[in-house]
C-alpha cells in the first residue's frame, strides 16, 4: 500500500506511540483488504464504549493510547453502559460505574466528544454527501452510507479509534463507487405503516441479504424514524452496511440493474413480528434503539400525558435530544409519569441482567436480537403499545 511521506512519519513513531500503533492497525487492515492507499476522513464515530463490552483489557488499551494520543478529526462516541450522571437512579452498582467513568475519562483525554449516542447524525456529527468517514456503530454506518451518502466501512472499535488518532482510513470497500452497487432487489409488497414495520422488514431482509446491499422498491414513504430503525435492523440480523431505496436515498438513481430479486409480503411481515416475541409479561420497557429523535420523544410525551408508569420505562436518547426535549417541555411530561430518560446508554449496552430484569418490551428488532443474545426474553411491539405496557394500560 502506498504511503505518503507524512504517513510514513506517523508509522515510524515520529509523532508518538499512539499514532504509530494506529497506523500499524490501518496499514494491516489496508493490506488485508487490498487498499492501494489511505484516505483522509472528516469524522469518526467510535464504538466500544460500554465497560460491559470492553472489560479491563479494553480499559488498559485506552489508557495506554491516552498517554500521547489525540483525535485529529471530529470524533463522537457510542453509548456507555450507564447514564454518566444519573447512574445511581438506574440502579447501576458503584464498581461498574467506576470502571465506566474510567473509560470515559480515557476517551476524553484522547480528545473525543462525550456524546454517548448511536445517532451521532442527530447530535452534531452529520457528514455531507460524498465525505469519507470511519464509523463504528453498525446502525449509524448503514444510515450514513445510505441516507446521508457518506462513505464508511463497518469499522470495529480499534480501527475507528485508529482513524481518529491519524485522520485516515484505508481506501477500500464502501469508500469506492464499485462497492456501493445493489446486490439484491427487494420488492416491498407489505404495507409498511409504522417505524416498527420497517424494523421488522429490515430484520427479515438482513437475514436474506447477509453482507450485501439491498435495493428497496415500492416503499410509499419513509422518514427519519423509519430509516433509522431500518438501518439498525438490517445491520443486526445481517452484516449490511448500506441499502438503497427507490425515490428516497441519494444513490438509488442508478437502480438495481440485473440483480436477483425477492419479495417482502404481508405474511413475511406478520411472521417476522411473531418470531420477535417470547412468552411472558414484560417487567421492563425500553424504547429508543437507535436513540430516539426529538419527534419520537414528543410522541412519547403525548402518549404519557396524564398517566403513571407501573413498570420501569426507559426512553433512550442522546444528551443533545434530551436538551432539545427539555427546551420544548417534553422532558417534564415524560418524567412526570415516572418514566426515565436513559441518556448516554441503552437497554442493550447497560448491564440490565444485573438490574434483575428478565422480559423486555421494546419497539426495536435490533434490541430484541441483542437482548436475546444476552439471555433476556423480549416482546416486540409498537411505540404506542410500549407506552401502554409501561403504564399498565391505565
Ligand atoms: Fe443504539 Fe443501543 Fe440500539 S447503541 S442502536 S440503542 S443497541
Q: pLDDT of the chain along its 394 residues, tens only? A: 999 999 999 999 999 999 999 999 999 999 999 999 999 999 999 999 999 999 999 999 999 999 999 999 999 999 999 999 999 998 999 999 999 999 999 999 999 999 999 999 999 999 999 999 999 999 999 999 999 999 999 999 999 999 999 999 999 999 999 999 999 999 999 999 999 999 999 999 999 999 999 999 999 999 999 999 999 999 999 999 999 999 999 999 877 777 899 999 999 999 999 999 999 999 999 999 999 999 999 999 999 999 999 999 999 999 999 999 999 999 999 999 999 999 999 999 998 888 899 999 999 999 999 999 999 999 999 999 999 999 996 5
Q: Which atom of ligand 1 is nearest to the CA of 370?
A: 7
User: Prior bond to 290 cis, omega within 30?
Assistant: yes
Task: Please tell me the distance from the alpha carbon of residue 146 to that of residue 141, in angstroms, as a whole number.
Answer: 8
Binding site membership of 118 for ligand 1 (Cβ less than 6 Å): yes
β-bridge mates for residue 186, sequence order: 216, 262
Which of 76, 123, 232 most suits a substitution to test ligand 1, by most atoms within 8 Å of the C-beta?
232
Tell me which residue has cell 466501512.
153
For 159-177, give one letter per residue: b (16+ CB within 10 A) or e.
Answer: bbbbbbbbbbbbbbbbbee
| pLDDT score recorded for residue 394 | 56
For residues 116 and 134, give the distance between their C-alpha atoms in angstroms, rounded to a whole number. 17
Identify the sign of the CA torsion 131, 136, 140, 146: positive
97-123 tens-digit pLDDT: 999 999 999 999 999 999 999 999 999
Q: What are the residues whose beta carbons fall under 8 Å from the beta carbon of 250, sequence distance 6 or more?
A: 129, 147, 148, 149
Q: What is the rounded distance in angstroms from the CA atom of residue 281 to the CA atom of residue 23?
A: 50
CA 368 to ligand 1 center in whole angstroms: 11
User: Global pTM?
Assistant: 0.97
Q: Which residues pair with 287 in a beta bridge?
A: 315
pLDDT for residue 164: 98
What is the number of other CB atoms lying within 10 angstroms of the CB of residue 108?
13
Is the C-beta atom of 370 inside 6 A of ligand 1?
Answer: yes
* C-alpha 8 – ligand 1 centre gap (Å): 37
Q: Is 316 in the pocket of ligand 1 (CB under 6 A)?
A: yes
The per-residue pLDDT for 297 is: 98
CB of 25 closer than 6 angstroms to any ligand 1 atom = no
Mapping DSSP onto H, E and C, the string for the chain reads: CCCCHHHHHHHHCCCCHHHHHHHHHHHHHHHHCCCCCEEECCEEEECCCCHHHHHHHHHHHHHHHCCCCCCCCEEEECCCCCCCCCCCCCCCCHHHHHHHHHHHHHHHHCCCCCCCCCCHHHCCCCCCCCCEEEECCHHHHHHHHHHHCCECCECCHHHHHHHHHHCEEECCHHHCHHHHCCCEEEEECCCCCCHHHHHHHHHHHHHHHCCCCEEEECCCCCCHHHHHHHHHHHHHHCCCCCCEECCCCCCHHHCCCCCEEEEECHHHHHHHHHHCCCCCCCCEEEEEEEEECHHHHHHHHHHHCCCCCCCEEEEEECHHHHHHHHHHCHHHHHHHCCCEEEECCCCCCCCCCCCCCCEEEECCHHHHHHHHHCCCEEEECCHHHHHHHHCCCC
**pLDDT digit string, tens, across residues 145-187:** 999 999 999 999 999 999 999 999 999 999 999 999 999 999 9
Atom number, ligand 1, closest to the C-alpha of residue 349: 2
The candidate with the shortest Cα–Cα distance to 27, out of 46, 8, 44, 14, is 8
Amino acid at each position: 500500500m502506498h504511503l505518503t511521506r507524512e504517513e510514513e512519519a506517523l508509522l515510524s513513531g515520529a509523532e508518538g506511540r499512539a499514532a504509530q500503533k494506529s497506523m500499524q492497525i490501518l496499514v494491516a487492515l489496508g493490506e488485508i483488504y487490498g487498499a492501494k492507499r489511505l484516505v483522509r476522513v472528516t469524522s469518526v464515530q467510535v464504538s466500544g464504549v460500554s465497560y460491559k463490552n470492553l472489560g479491563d483489557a479494553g480499559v488498559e488499551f485506552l489508557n495506554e493510547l491516552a498517554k500521547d494520543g489525540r483525535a485529529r478529526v471530529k470524533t463522537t462516541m457510542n453509548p456507555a453502559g450507564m447514564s454518566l450522571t444519573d447512574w445511581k437512579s438506574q440502579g447501576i452498582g458503584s464498581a461498574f460505574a467506576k470502571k465506566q467513568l474510567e473509560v470515559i475519562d480515557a476517551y476524553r483525554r484522547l480528545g473525543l466528544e462525550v456524546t454517548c449516542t448511536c445517532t451521532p447524525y442527530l447530535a452534531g456529527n452529520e457528514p455531507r454527501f460524498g465525505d469519507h468517514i470511519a464509523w463504528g456503530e453498525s446502525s449509524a454506518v448503514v444510515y450514513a452510507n445510505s441516507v446521508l451518502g457518506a462513505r464508511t466501512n463497518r469499522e470495529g472499535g480499534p480501527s475507528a479509534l485508529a482513524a481518529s488518532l491519524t485522520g485516515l482510513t484505508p481506501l477500500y470497500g464502501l469508500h469506492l463507487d464499485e462497492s456501493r452497487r445493489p446486490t439484491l432487489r427487494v420488492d416491498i409488497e407489505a404495507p409498511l405503516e409504522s417505524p416498527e414495520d420497517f424494523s421488522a422488514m429490515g430484520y427479515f431482509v438482513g437475514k436474506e441479504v447477509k453482507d450485501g446491499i439491498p435495493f428497496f422498491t415500492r416503499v410509499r414513504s419513509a422518514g427519519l424514524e423509519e430509516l433509522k430503525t431500518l438501518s439498525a435492523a438490517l445491520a443486526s440480523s445481517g452484516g449490511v452496511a448500506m441499502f438503497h431505496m427507490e425515490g428516497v436515498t441519494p444513490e438509488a438513481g442508478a437502480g438495481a440493474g440485473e440483480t436477483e430479486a425477492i419479495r417482502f409480503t404481508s405474511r413475511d411481515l406478520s411472521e417476522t413480528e411473531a418470531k420477535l416475541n417470547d412468552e411472558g409479561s414484560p417487567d421492563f420497557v425500553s424504547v429508543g434503539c437507535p436513540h430516539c429523535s426529538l419527534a419520537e420523544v414528543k410522541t412519547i410525551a403525548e402518549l404519557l400525558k396524564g398517566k403513571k408508569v407501573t413498570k420501569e420505562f426507559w426512553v433512550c436518547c442522546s444528551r443533545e435530544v434530551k436538551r432539545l426535549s427539555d427546551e420544548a417541555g417534553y422532558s417534564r411530561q415524560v418524567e412526570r409519569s415516572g418514566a426515565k430518560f436513559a441518556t448516554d446508554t441503552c437497554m442493550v449496552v447497560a448491564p440490565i441482567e444485573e438490574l434483575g430484569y428478565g422480559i423486555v418490551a421494546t419497539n426495536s428488532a435490533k434490541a430484541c436480537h441483542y437482548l436475546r443474545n444476552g439471555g433476556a426474553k423480549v416482546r416486540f411491539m409498537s411505540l404506542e403499545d410500549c407506552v401502554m405496557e409501561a403504564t399498565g394500560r391505565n
